Structure 1
Amino acid sequence: MHPLVNSPENAFVRAHTRLSPAPYVPEVHLHLADDAIALWEKTEENLRGSEQPPPFWAFAWAGGQALARYILDHPDLIRGRTVFDLAAGSGLVAIAAVRAGAATVTANEIDPLAVTAIAANADANDVKITAVLGDVLSGDADGAEVVLAGDVFYSKAMTDRVLPFLRRAAARGALVLVGDPGRAYLPREHLESVAVHEVPVNRSLESTDVKTTTVWRLPSRL
């Protein structure tokens, strides 16, 4: 059991979510919330009393679900390799990578509550994940053979930092896969589509029940 499982942050995660199967990846169970706004307010009120990042960790986002489904359906891409999951959120993609046979999996987040949620979700699925807290976007995923990123192109500022990170990883030979449901700042010109999925999503977040979501590969030559 991860030490964070006994922390106050973990108690908060468990109190405001329920353990449920990810809609498109039902073999993985996550601590998920139903109401994003209510949870965001609770996060600010109960934990620090200051502005907090949105609780991305409490939802199964379309890009992450599609990417998790893809690697579980194509374990040959992952098996025996070192994996880095960027902006891991709930840890869904990282958990799928372990299930697909990765040698090691590192999940990165800048939100301490997300790191707590990743630990809780790893524990719930009986998998081992190394959760790393901090901004790593000046690097290249520290030699990981596979770099995964679900739903990371939701703002221009994020894209401007994430794309160079992913390009550096691809340039040194990493397999870079991205899941994205057509967010506004998706850099399509740098990506190659490898699969398309119809992913069930939270209507309160996406204003729809299903999002057409693409798994993309970032070639080393671009």
Structure 2
Amino acid sequence: MPEDIRPDRRAFIRQQTRPLPVPSLPEITLFQADEVTPLWLMTEADMTRDRLSPPFWAFAWSGGQALGRYVLDNPHIVRGKRVLDIASGSGLVGIAAMQAGAASVLCNDIDPYAEAAVALNAEQNGVTLAFTGRNLLDNGPPEADVILAGDICYEKGMTDAMLSYFRRAAGQNIEVYVGDPHRSYFPTSGLSKLADYDILTNADIEDATVKPASVWKLET
């Protein structure tokens, strides 16, 4: 366990979630919350004090599930490559990449609870994931061959920043794959659709128990 992961965050995640198979990727088990509201309330004090994001790391979001499913079904896109799982949340997509044979995976999320969640979920699935909490969008693309991004289009500002970052990465011959459940801010141009899925999800976090989602590749 990296020294900078606070043990209390790991303990908190173990107390408020439990290991469950990912609905559309039963090959992967994550520490997940059964209900949204209790966990949101438990983290509210930290969120207010530290300006943290809501606990996205506690759920298997449909865009991430779709992208993880695509990676497992098409391992050649990551096999032997250096992968960045950006806005990683639980680390679901990064775990899928390691299971598919990636040489290495760097997970990135600015929420410090996500670092603990990624560490726990990596251990749970017997893989090794590196982690950085830096805001990568303010810098140039890292040393990577592939960028994977699940469910990043829930806000316009974030979507625009991510797409700008992805275009810079594509200019350095980094392949970019995005999983999205048809969010309002998902761009309508500049990406090629690779697959469609009907993703099993939690009705507490989505508007249905089955959510259509697609996987796209950034055009170069």
TM range (shorter): over 0.9
Alpha-carbon distance in structure 1 between the residues aligned to 2:112 and 2:5: 13
1:137 equivalent in alignment to 2:137: yes
Deviations 1:112-140 (A, max 9, x none): 00111001100111100001112110234
Check conservation: 1:78, 1:97, Cα contact below 8 A.
Answer: yes
Other structure's SS at 1:44 match? helix
Equivalence for 2:92: 92
Equivalence for 2:189: 189
Alpha-carbon distance in structure 1 between the residues aligned to 2:32 and 2:156: 27
Equivalence for 1:19: 19
Other structure's SS at 1:97 match? helix
Check conservation: 1:4, 1:116, Cα contact below 8 A.
Answer: no
Q: 1:177 to 1:140 in 2, by over 3 A?
A: farther
Please show how residues 95-106 of structure 1 align to structure 2 within 5 Å.
Answer: 95-106=95-106
Gap runs ≥5 in structure 2: none
Give the aligned residue type for 1:143: E
Q: How many pairs align?
A: 219
Alpha-carbon distance in structure 2 between the residues aligned to 1:189 and 1:197: 20
Task: Flag as ranges the 4+ runs of structure 1 deviating above 4 A.
Answer: 1-6
Equivalence for 2:110: 110
Give the aligned residue type for 2:39: L
Give the aligned residue type for 2:197: H
Other structure's SS at 1:28 match? strand
Other structure's SS at 1:217 match? strand
Check conservation: 1:193, 1:216, Cα contact below 8 A.
Answer: yes
Deviations 1:154-196 (A, max 9, x none): 0011112111011111121111000000001001212110010
Equivalence for 1:68: 68
1:49 positional shift: 5.9
Equivalence for 1:39: 39
Other structure's SS at 1:15 match? helix
Check conservation: 1:89, 1:109, Cα contact below 8 A.
Answer: yes
TM-score between both structures, scaled by the size of structure 1: 0.94
Gap runs ≥5 in structure 1: none
Deviations 1:12-31 (A, max 9, x none): 01100010000001111000
1:207 positional shift: 1.9
1:213 equivalent in alignment to 2:213: yes
Give the aligned residue type for 1:54: P
Greater Cα offset, 174-183 or 32-41: 32-41
1:199 equivalent in alignment to 2:199: yes
Give the aligned residue type for 2:154: Y
1:40 positional shift: 1.4
1:53 positional shift: 1.2
Check conservation: 1:140, 1:166, Cα contact below 8 A.
Answer: no
